[in-house]
Chains A and B, each alone.
Chain A
Amino acid sequence: MTNEINLTIDGKEIAVSAGTTILKAAKSAGVDIPTICYHDHCTANALCRICVVEVEGARTLVPACIAQVSNNMRVHTNSERVVRARRTILEMLASSVDLSDAPDIQRMLQEYQVDINRFPEAEERKPPVIDDNPMYIRDYAKCILCWRCVQVCATDAQFTFAINFSGRGYETQIGTFYDKPIPETTCVFCGQCAGVCPTGALKPKKQWLFEQGFSTAEIVQLTRFDRSANSQRR
């Protein structure tokens, strides 16, 4: 069915087909809604809640990335309530992890006039860098738990299932079976996880070494990959 849905977004009257998300409807109307965890090629999970918008009549704010449009819906993407929520989420995020390698989020911090020191004496998540394979490093001090890496490793792309979660709540981290190093997991080094990581928490090892000033020759030496050794693992 190609039902047309009529709604207003920030006062603009628009018509989109049924099943469209508020995020996509807004985009078609030229209204930009910020997103962090959302990725065009990953399942949308509405985790970061940065894309929340105010829908008249709704009890709480609504995540635009998954909420679908309905007739006569009146959406406000930039109301005071929305801005306050987005700013607070960004302030909390900035108090938790290292966002220095996340340019998109950096721009948001500017746009929402975020005080990155809003939460003094806050416990940060800063585990040490994990350098356990020649292909990529895992710097979870930069991980914002957007889930993209877990999803592309699983049913969103690769069906490899090498990574999942450790802990829960604020202590959640991305982890492997019994914390094994990556070469001892089912990882096939496809690189998709590093490709979708928005914050530099997962990074090709060559890039990581390059950023630290290693020479090309050194980088090649440090990232040599013993394929025969790997092929013996299942």
Chain B
Amino acid sequence: MADISLKPLIPILDELAPKGRTALLPALQAAQKIYGYVPEQVAAIIANRLHVPLADVHGVLEFYALLYRAPVGKTIIHVCADPVCAMAGSDAILKQTSRTFELHGKQKDKTLTVTVERSPCLGLCEHAPALLVQSSPLVQPETYTLRDLVTGKGKKPRSIVGGDISILTENCRKGQITWLEDYKIQGGYQALHKALQMKPQEVIEEVKASGLVGRGGAAFPTGLKWESAAQSAAQPKYVVCNADEAEPGTFKDRVLMENDPHRILEGILIAAYAIGSTYGYMYIRGEYEYQYQVMSQAVDEAKKAGLIGTNILQSDFNFELELRQGAGAYICGEETALFESIEGKRGFPRVKPPFPTTAGLFGKPTVINNVETLANIPYIIHKGATEYRKIGTEKSPGPKLFCVSGDVVKPGLYEVPFGVTFRHLLFDLAGGIRNNRSMKAALFGGAAGAFATEKELDVRLTFEDLRAAGLPLGSGVITVFDETRDMRDVLLRLAHFFAEESCGKCYPCQIGTQRQYEILQRVANSSTLPGDLERLQDIGWTMTDTSLCGLGQTAASAILSAIRLWPELFKKH
């Protein structure tokens, strides 16, 4: 450690230092790229240059799972152990890679030092079992040796996209990235051009008229959000694209980013124009390194083409966009936690109100939208709200992306109009259940969701129908389990996920996710104690009713739904 050279870090810090604390995560990430981890003296220099207290730097380092303050292996392998990948055998891979690592360790083969970590969902569910080797996704890892993996061999995943319509996924089925030239040939950035001819309020009216609601899970009307931020008096205003996709089972934003980056950028630019923002951020989950690279290149293209910067398309509209990478924290998908993270802090969610449209990023009016939400915008502006509303149902207009994975014949991303039935999605599009089995359950909405059974096959996939059926649409996740699956193991993994990802701020979630996990360990081991079912319910209701943010409020959702459906699972076997 004594022979650490600070030379390569200095120019980076020279560039970042004027930004102050907001540059803390980028500085730590840059340091880690150089040194493999963040040595103490490096952390101290970063603290000094960015004017962040030492203890606060420590707090940030400790919060994010992808930041290390002690040396780790030269190669880091993340193996997903959440339900979809577990069903595809990720436990065996985790065990095998871990064991091989030990063998190499004994041989002191330093070139092969490997750190293997159990990871939360990597957003590669259609390719399960998935793993990341030095941030690069690999599929079918079971067919490679550890040496292959470490030396960069292995099959890279390609998007699997289908569906009834292709409005959002038009460019996601080609097997290649749609760069600026192609995007423009297909009419790309015409919506931005059109928006710039309109008054900002007219753009907002069009989005309101479209009936678009947020696709990240909360389903808040997008136009109202924009209007609220536009009407806020404070300056400056920010647009933030939430690309911190991490809900287990969700991979839609990953597919959009890695295939069609400009559609998202166009959506961000139109949002910025509508609310009067000249600076924005796109916060991409840390595990999506490849998608970050694609978005970075797209931003560079857009800057060169005069689409980002000053006098965009010869108008008086100016806008700069900064890409940020997360560092391994599911909670940062919560909008206020994401702001904290951009501000260089631990990703603790804030109390609301105030809401982001009045006091968001840096305390200023902020519109924060999900990737898929923003991908809808170019179509809405280009074709108009009336045309947009022809897709979907009266109350749920537009196209919707569904991430279907688990025990289906064709896992993948499916674009459908709102209103098709679950049966259609599952059987006509995803090919039905694997191995001619029947379905035991489908988890709607991810870890924070609820289970559906065969009884719900004919439910229409709309906000209104799903609400009536007691199922969340969430971020459009449907994870399918066949009749042979042990649901106790599924629940254990969901509980593990929340115990790992709770930020620890409010008591009910901080302690409740841990206690819930402990009881589900007993359930999975058939060693339940008398009263465990009631304990689970008390924890679940308390977390739901009193937690500070959406994570805690939904951390028991799937488990409570399983208790209603299969109470026998929670009795001693």
Interface residues of A (CB under 8 A from B): 45-50, 52, 60-61, 63, 66, 81, 84-85, 88-89, 91-93, 95-96, 118-123, 144-145, 154, 161-172, 175-178, 185-186
B510 touches A186 (CB 8 A): no
Sample of 7 further A-B pairs with CB below 8 A, known A165-B62, A176-B58, A186-B53: A60-B545, A60-B547, A88-B539, A96-B511, A164-B55, A170-B510, A172-B510
Residues of B within 8 A of A60 (CB): 544-547, 553
Complex: chain A residue closest to B540, CB-CB: A88
A78–chain B nearest beta-carbon distance, Å: 15
Chain A residues near B499: list those with CB within 8 A: 169-170
**Nearest CB to that of B534 among chain A residues?**
A118
Residues B57 and A177 in contact, CB atoms below 8 Å apart: yes
CB-CB under 8 A for A178 and B62, given A49-B547, A170-B514, A171-B504:
no
Q: Which residues in window 16-60 of B have CB below 8 A to A?
A: 40, 43-44, 53-59
Closest 5 CB pairs of A and B: A161-B53, A164-B59, A172-B504, A170-B514, A164-B55
| Complex contact A186–B55 (CB within 8 A) | yes
Contact with A along B51-78 (1 / 0, CB 8 A): 0011111110011000001000000000
Which residues of B pack against A, CB within 8 Å?
40, 43-44, 53-59, 62-63, 69, 329, 346, 351, 499-508, 510-515, 518, 522, 529, 535, 538-539, 541-542, 544-548, 553
Distance in angstroms from A65 CB to nearest chain B CB is 10
B351→A66 contact, CB < 8 A: yes
For A89, list chain B residues within 8 Å (CB). Answer: 507-508, 511, 542, 546
Instruction: For the complex, give the distance between the alpha carbons of A66 and B529 in Å.
Output: 38
B508:A49 contact, CB within 8 angstroms: yes
Residues of A within 8 A of B501 (CB): 169
Is the pair A92, B58 in contact by a Cβ cutoff of 8 Å?
no
In the complex where A118-B535, A120-B529, A170-B510 touch, is A49 in contact with B546 (Cβ < 8 A)? yes
Can you give 23 contacting A-B residue pairs, CB < 8 Å? Answer: A45-B505, A47-B506, A47-B507, A84-B541, A85-B541, A85-B546, A88-B508, A88-B539, A91-B538, A92-B542, A93-B507, A95-B511, A122-B518, A161-B55, A164-B53, A168-B62, A169-B502, A172-B510, A175-B58, A177-B40, A177-B54, A177-B55, A185-B54
Q: Check B507 against A48 for contact (C-beta < 8 Å).
A: yes
A122 to B506, CA, bound (A): 19
* Known contacts A164-B58, A164-B59, A178-B40; A61/B510 CB under 8 A: no
Interface residues of A: mostly helix, strand, loop or mixed? loop
**Known A60-B553, A81-B545, A177-B57: A165·B511 in contact at CB below 8 Å:** no
Q: Is the CB of A169 within 8 A of B504?
A: yes
Return the chain B residue nearest A62 by Cβ. B546
- Enumerate chain A residues within 8 angstroms of B63, measured Cβ to Cβ: 165, 168
Once the chains are docked, how many angstroms separate the CA of A162 from the CA of B54? 8
Task: Give A131 Cβ to nearest chain B Cβ, in Å.
Answer: 20
Query: Which among B40, B57, B500, B508 has the highest number of chain A CB atoms within 10 Å?
Result: B508
- Minimum CB–CB distance from B561 to chain A (whole Å) comes to 18
Contact (Cβ within 8 A) B56 A161: yes
Q: Which residue of A lies closest to B63 (CB)?
A: A168
- For B40, the chain A residues whose CB sits under 8 A away are 177-178
Q: Is the CB of A178 within 8 A of B511?
A: no
A95→B59 CA distance, assembly (Å): 25
- Complex: how many Å from CA A154 to CA B500? 27
Shortest beta-carbon distance, A125 to chain B, in Å?
A: 10
- Of all chain A residues, which has the CB nearest B519? A119
Q: Which of A81, A163, A167, A168 has the most CB of B within 10 A?
A: A168
Q: Give every chain A residue within 8 A of B346 (Cβ-Cβ).
A: 165, 168
Q: What residue in chain B is nearest A95 (Cβ atoms)?
A: B515
Q: Which residues of B sit under 8 angstroms from A154, Cβ to Cβ?
A: 53
Rounded to whole Å, the gap between the CB of B234 and the closest CB of chain A is: 19
Are B515 and A92 within 8 A (Cβ)?
yes
Give bound CA distance, A136 to B482, whole Å. Answer: 58
- B residues in contact with A177, CB < 8 Å: 40, 43-44, 54-55, 57-58
Interface pair B514/A123, CB less than 8 Å apart: yes
Most chain A CB inside 10 Å of its own CB: which residue of B55, B511, B522:
B55
The residues of A that contact B539 with a CB separation of less than 8 Å are 88, 92
* CB pair A169 B535 closer than 8 Å: no
A45 touches B508 (CB 8 A): no
- Residue of B56, B329, B541, B544 with most chain A CB atoms under a 10 A cut-off: B56
Q: From known contacts A61-B545, A92-B539, infer whether A163 and B55 are also in contact, taking CB-CB under 8 Å.
A: yes
Q: Which of A49, A50, A145 contacts B548 (CB 8 A)?
A: A49
Q: Which residues of A contact B62 (CB under 8 A)?
A: 165-168, 175
Q: Write the nearest CB–CB distance from B394 to chain A, whole angstroms.
A: 25
Chain A contacts of B502 at CB under 8 A?
168-170
Whole-angstrom CA separation of A16 from B461 in the bound complex: 47
A166 and B541 in contact (CB under 8 A), knowing A52-B546, A95-B515, A178-B40? Answer: no
A152 to chain B, nearest CB (A): 13
CB distance from A26 to the nearest CB of B (A): 17
Q: Within the assembled complex, what's the spacing in Å between the Cα atoms of A47 and B348?
A: 11
